[in-house]
C-alpha cells in the first residue's frame, strides 16, 4: 500500500512539475517568431542590397562604398592582427589600409543568411599582397536599427 501511495505522489508531482517547467520555459525563452522579432520582406530585401554594396566595395577595394553603413561601434578582425571594437571611423581606416595594400583579384559572397535578426554573409577573398597571391575568408554581419541595417562585424581571416 505504501508503494502505491509513493507512485501516485510521484506521478501527480511529476506531471504538474513538467507543466510548470514548460510554462516557465515559454516565458523565459520567447520564440524568434514573436511579432516584435520578425523580419519583414522589405528588411530582407534591404539586407540583400547592403550585402551587394559590400561585395562591390570589396571587389573594387573601396571601403567608402559601404563604410557609411558601419555601426557606431564595429567589431573588426583582420589577418594583419587588428582585432577588437572600433569606432566607424577607425574601422574605415583599418579596412582602407587593408584593401589599399592589396590588389583584389576576386571576391564573391558565397553564403548569405539574410532572413534572421542578424543577417550575415561570407565569401572567399583572393588578393595579391607584396607580389604573392593570398586567400582569406570574409565574414560580415549586420543588425537592424531604426535607420536600417548596420554592419556590426567585419572579419577577414
Same domain membership, residue 67 and residue 21: no
Mean pLDDT along residues 112-135: 96
User: In this predicted model, what pLDDT tens digit does every residue of 81-114 receive, in sequence order?
Assistant: 889 999 999 999 999 999 999 999 999 999 999 8
Mean pLDDT along residues 18-37: 45
Same domain membership, residue 108 and residue 60: yes
Mean pLDDT along residues 58-68: 97
The boundaries of the domain holding residue 19 are 1-30
Domain count along the chain:
2
Sign of CA dihedral 96, 106, 153, 143: positive
Same domain membership, residue 70 and residue 11: no
Mean pLDDT along residues 111-119: 93
Same domain membership, residue 39 and residue 62: yes
Same domain membership, residue 41 and residue 111: yes
User: In this predicted model, what pLDDT tens digit does every residue of 28-55 receive, in sequence order?
Assistant: 434 444 545 678 999 999 999 999 999 9
The CATH number assigned to the domain holding 135 equals: 3.10.450.50
Q: How far apart are CA 67 and CA 140, in angstroms?
A: 12
Structure confidence at residue 115 (pLDDT): 83
pTM: 0.76
Q: Which residues pair with 139 in a beta bridge?
A: 122, 155
Same domain membership, residue 111 and residue 94: yes
Same domain membership, residue 130 and residue 99: yes
Same domain membership, residue 123 and residue 59: yes
Structure confidence at residue 21 (pLDDT): 45
Task: Express as a percent the part of the chain with pLDDT over 70.
Answer: 76
Nearest to 91 by CA among 81, 77, 112: 77
Same domain membership, residue 106 and residue 49: yes
Mean pLDDT along residues 54-62: 98
Amino acid at each position: 500500500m505504501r508503494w502505491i501511495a509513493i507512485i501516485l505522489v510521484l506521478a501527480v508531482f511529476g506531471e504538474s512539475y513538467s507543466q510548470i517547467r514548460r510554462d516557465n520555459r515559454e516565458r523565459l525563452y520567447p520564440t524568434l517568431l514573436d511579432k516584435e522579432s520578425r523580419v519583414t520582406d522589405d528588411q530582407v530585401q534591404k539586407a540583400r542590397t547592403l550585402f551587394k554594396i559590400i561585395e562591390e566595395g570589396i571587389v573594387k577595394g573601396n571601403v567608402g562604398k559601404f563604410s557609411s553603413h558601419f555601426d557606431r561601434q564595429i567589431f573588426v578582425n583582420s589577418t594583419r592582427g587588428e582585432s577588437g571594437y572600433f569606432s566607424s571611423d577607425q574601422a574605415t581606416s583599418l579596412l582602407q589600409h587593408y584593401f589599399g595594400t592589396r590588389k583584389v583579384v576576386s571576391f564573391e559572397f558565397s553564403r548569405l543568411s539574410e532572413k534572421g535578426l542578424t543577417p550575415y554573409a561570407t565569401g572567399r577573398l583572393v588578393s595579391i599582397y607584396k607580389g604573392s597571391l593570398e586567400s582569406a575568408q570574409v565574414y560580415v554581419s549586420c543588425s537592424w536599427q531604426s535607420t536600417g541595417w548596420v554592419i556590426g562585424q567585419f572579419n577577414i581571416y
